[in-house]
A and B are shown apart, each in its own frame.
Chain A
């Protein structure tokens, strides 16, 4: 018996955030549950606060009242040198991210203004589902439900499986959003409780995948194929974060279509035009943003690539010319 089949309320996981009223990650109106921990390092990552497994420090200087009015973090128990003030009129605290990594939840609770917070907290299955269930009426009227996202939700397989199973037991539709760079046993454990699986085809070439996401894509593609074949009742939706200069080209889109089209349970392929939405979060985490010089794909390019997908899925409309 796998762990999730026991007492699900005893299982807990690290949750980054619960976002209600979402409409882009599965059918209907949904509640997205973002889990922490990822096994890829995509240079364009929009959720950098979800990469580490552990809860981690974040800092919002707008909430800091400064050394004179507060100064709590400049004293023990905060680590020596982790916070400091620069000479000048502005006495707001700065963070030395190399020395502040040891700050824990207890220390952060000593910040009276909330400028210091932890990204992520441990929650039980019931705590998450009680929150998700608040919008049940929306799910019923729109065909929506709960989507597990991340990070990589398949890296917490016991927790994810228990959440999804619990959601089903409460009559809530389930979806996951995954890159699938995990051992097959994780996939196999979670998918029996999934109605829709949104999965990322970031790059088709293994070497280029390794360059931009940290590891090759051999296992990812094997997992996708095996998932299509093992779970014929799941609706699979392929997705590509579209980034000019990396994968926003016909060759990639056609390669993905060639991969997914033989599988009739892959019901759609969505494009997600890249935007630098992660940048603010990189700043509040003190992490260097690695993708510097890429811009949002043009509307014309997105329309052109979307038309190729529409044609492959037999939808109306002609391939838009690329201007």
Chain B
């Protein structure tokens, strides 16, 4: 898509949303659409990721939604996303069934760029998570004028201090942990609660601090279950016969600390590569961390453990006040980037400013909890065990 560089003339801008819901998406759309309208630009939304553009025949309105002032004024920023979402948003690998009834992944990135040109779209605002940034970067290298807005539940996107969505997930996680704490107390058990956080432990650590958990296990600190059990023996007593362990779904374990899975007869039917070990490129199933920790602790302690998985539904619901403000600001920031012709960038919040980071610098970085984090110091001061002696 050729950059037009005509900041003073009317432009047509599109906005799309990556896979997975995050509270505050409507607020981004609202902020961007209102800022665009003030500049006299037209803004359209693409339904379900890129599906509205790639497969317009699936939609009665053609897959593009004109974000008129009337629509935006009636848009509820707390409701589910106006544009919907697709389970996958990768135009380089679009899963299709071909004429021979065979499933295949097709590169439709060229089609996408051409369709945006045909729709006379000057620039695209993409509301995406960490992986989406890489895909949009690839599209930008292919000629797409794109500005990204970071959204994340884990808050792992490195070039911004906070992605929208994190604060809402944190608030909801704390509310649920409070309830679990009460349930564990009543049942006299040790609750082991898995929260989102595949690569970064911000959600587990900050929520764990808020509810004064007994232990918090995060991906940044490989945990020693024997040491966790030892600490819990001190904290879970006859006068306080319950406990709360918060574990991020990407929690790791020191060698020999994690129970091994049993083999099965299907193994014989798989290729020898089936025995390959998991790498540190972490993709785990939901619930595995809670189950591993709960089972491991139950073998080491007298108390009964209770694994619970908060799972992906913390992604739902209305945004908190913090996320709503942030999301509107990100939407406005994205339009400012388009106005400045600052394509191939991501809007970032670097207090006190909203600024822009080149996508090449935003990708391939994970914002993890550093060892000298204030949050770690606070946890230590509260006696919250972080998986091993630091």
Does B302 belong to the interface (CB within 8 Å)? Answer: no
1/0 contact string of B284-321 vs chain A (CB within 8 Å)? 01110000000000000000000000000000000000
Residues of B with C-beta under 8 A to A46 = 266, 269-270, 274
**Residue from B105, B271, B276, B366 having most chain A Cβ neighbours under 10 A:** B271
Contacts of B388 in A (CB 8 A): none
* Nearest CB in chain B: distance from A263 CB, A: 23
State whether the Cβ of B137 lies closer than 8 Å to any Cβ in chain A: yes
| A39→B278 contact, CB < 8 A | no
> Which one, B104, B263, B279, contacts A284 given CB within 8 A?
B279
Contact of B103 among A22, A41, A289 (CB under 8 A): A41
Assuming the contacts A86-B365, A99-B134, A273-B265, asked whether A62 and B277 have C-beta atoms less than 8 A apart, the reply is yes
Please report A residues at the B interface, Cβ cutoff 8 Å: 16-17, 19, 22-25, 32, 34, 38-41, 46-47, 49-50, 52, 59-62, 80-81, 84, 86, 88, 92, 94-99, 101, 119, 149, 155, 177, 181-183, 214-216, 219, 241, 272-284, 286-289, 292-293, 296
Asked if B186 CB lies within 8 Å of chain A CBs, one says no
Contact A277:B274 (CB < 8 A) given known A61-B279, A81-B137 = yes
Interface SS of B by simple majority: loop
> Which residues on the B side are within 8 Å of A281 (C-beta)?
273-274, 276
User: Residue-by-residue, is B195-229 near A (CB-CB < 8 Å gives 1, otherwise 0)?
Assistant: 00000000000000000000000000000000000
- Which B residues are CB-close (under 8 A) to A219? 101
Whether the pair B269, A25 counts as a contact (CB closer than 8 A) is yes
Name the residue on B nearest A92 (C-beta): B280
CB atoms of B103 and A96 under 8 A apart: no
The answer to whether residues A280 and B97 also contact, given A46-B269, A289-B285, A293-B286 and a CB cut-off of 8 A, is no
Binary per-residue interface labels of chain B (317-354) against chain A in the complex, 1 for a CB within 8 Å, 0 otherwise: 00000000000000000000000000000000000000
Nearest CB of chain B from residue A255's CB, rounded to whole Å? 21
- Most central of A23, A274, A281, A282 by chain B CB within 10 Å: A281
Q: Please state if A49 and B102 are interface contacts (CB–CB under 8 Å).
A: no
**Can you list 6 A-B contacts with CB-CB less than 8 angstroms, sorted by A residue number?**
A16-B273, A39-B104, A81-B363, A275-B266, A276-B285, A293-B285
Chain B neighbourhood of A293, CB < 8 A: 285-287
Q: Are A24 and B274 within 8 A (Cβ)?
A: no
Contact present for A282 and B283 (CB under 8 Å): yes
- List B contacts of A275 (CB < 8 A): 263-264, 266-267
The residues of B that contact A277 with a CB separation of less than 8 Å are: 264, 266-267, 270, 274-275
Contacting pair B278 A215 (CB below 8 A): no
Task: Pick the residue among B104, B138, B268, B273 that contacts A99 (CB under 8 A).
Answer: B138
Chain B residues with Cβ under 8 A from A274's Cβ? 264, 266
Is there an interface contact between B274 and A283, defined as CB atoms closer than 8 Å?
no
CB of A119 within 8 A of CB of B264, answer no
A155 and B101 CA atoms in complex are apart in Å by 13
- Asked whether, in the complex, the Cβ of A272 is within 8 Å of the Cβ of B366, the reply is no
Known: A59-B281, A283-B278, A293-B285. A273 touches B138 (CB 8 A): no
> In the complex, A66 Cα to B138 Cα: how many Å?
25
Given A41-B95, A81-B134, A99-B138, check contact A280 B276 (CB 8 Å): yes
Q: Is the CB of B271 within 8 A of A32?
A: yes
| Bound CA–CA A212/B360 (angstroms) | 37
Question: Main SS of the interface on chain A?
Answer: loop
Contact: B264 with A98, CB < 8 Å? no
A97 contact set on B, CB distance < 8 A = 281
Contact B266 A95 (CB under 8 A): no
Interchain CB contact (< 8 A) of A289 among B264, B273, B283: B283
| Contact partners of B131 in chain A: CB under 8 A | 98
Query: With a CB–CB cut-off of 8 A, which chain A residues contact B137?
Result: 81, 99
CB-based contact A181/B101 at 8 Å:
yes
Cross-chain contact of B273 among A17, A41, A214 (Cβ < 8 A): A17
**Residues of the A chain whose Cβ atoms lie less than 8 Å from the Cβ of B41:** none
A19:B272 contact, CB within 8 angstroms: yes
Enumerate chain A residues within 8 angstroms of B273, measured Cβ to Cβ: 16-17, 47, 49, 119, 281
A275 to B264, CA, bound (A): 6
Closest-CB distance, B260 to chain A (whole angstroms): 13
What's the least CB distance linking B183 to chain A, in Å? 22
Indicate whether B254 reaches chain A with its CB closer than 8 angstroms: no
User: How far apart are A215's CB and chain B's nearest CB, in angstroms?
Assistant: 6
- Closest beta carbon of chain B to A320's beta carbon, Å: 17
**Is B271 in contact with A34, judged by CB distance below 8 angstroms?**
yes
In the complex, how many angstroms separate the beta carbon of B109 from the nearest chain A beta carbon? 11
CB contact between B102 and one of A23, A149, A181, A282 (< 8 Å): that residue: A181
| CA distance in complex: A216, B101 (Å) | 9
Kindly list the 8 A-B residue pairs having the minimum CB-CB distance in the complex, ordered from nearest.
A39-B102, A275-B264, A84-B364, A24-B268, A214-B103, A98-B134, A280-B276, A292-B285
Q: In this complex, what residue of B is CB-closest to A39?
A: B102
Min C-beta distance of B262 to chain A, whole Å: 8
Asked whether B375 is an interface residue with its Cβ less than 8 Å from the other chain, the reply is: no
Q: Is B106 an interface residue (CB 8 A)?
A: no
Chain A residues closer than 8 Å to B102, beta-carbon distance: 39, 155, 181-182, 215
Complex contacts, B282 vs chain A, CB 8 Å: 283
Q: How far is the CA of A95 from the CA of B134 in the complex (A)?
A: 12
B277 / chain A contacts, CB cutoff of 8 Å:
62, 280
B65 interface contact, C-beta 8 A: no
- Does B100 lie at the interface of the complex (its beta carbon under 8 Å from any beta carbon of A)? yes
- Check A283–B264 contact: CB distance below 8 A: no
Q: How far is the CB of B131 from chain A (nearest CB, A)?
A: 7
In the complex, chain A residues whose CB is within 8 Å of the CB of B105: 52
CB-CB under 8 A from B287, the residues of chain A are 292-293
CB atoms of B281 and A273 under 8 A apart: no
Q: In the assembly, what is the distance between CA of A280 and CA of B275, in Å?
A: 7
Decide: A96 near B363, CB < 8 A? Known: A81-B134, A215-B101, A277-B264.
yes
Indicate if the CB atoms of B364 and A280 lie closer than 8 Å: no
A162 to B103, CA, bound (A): 25
Q: Which residues of A contact B364 (CB under 8 A)?
A: 81, 84, 94, 96
Q: Which residue of A lies closest to B102 (CB)?
A: A39
Report the minimum CB–CB distance from A47 to chain B (whole Å).
Answer: 5
- Given A61-B280, A81-B137, A99-B138, check contact A241 B103 (CB 8 Å): no
Q: In this complex, which of A40, A61, A283 has the most chain B Cβ atoms within 10 angstroms of its Cβ?
A: A283
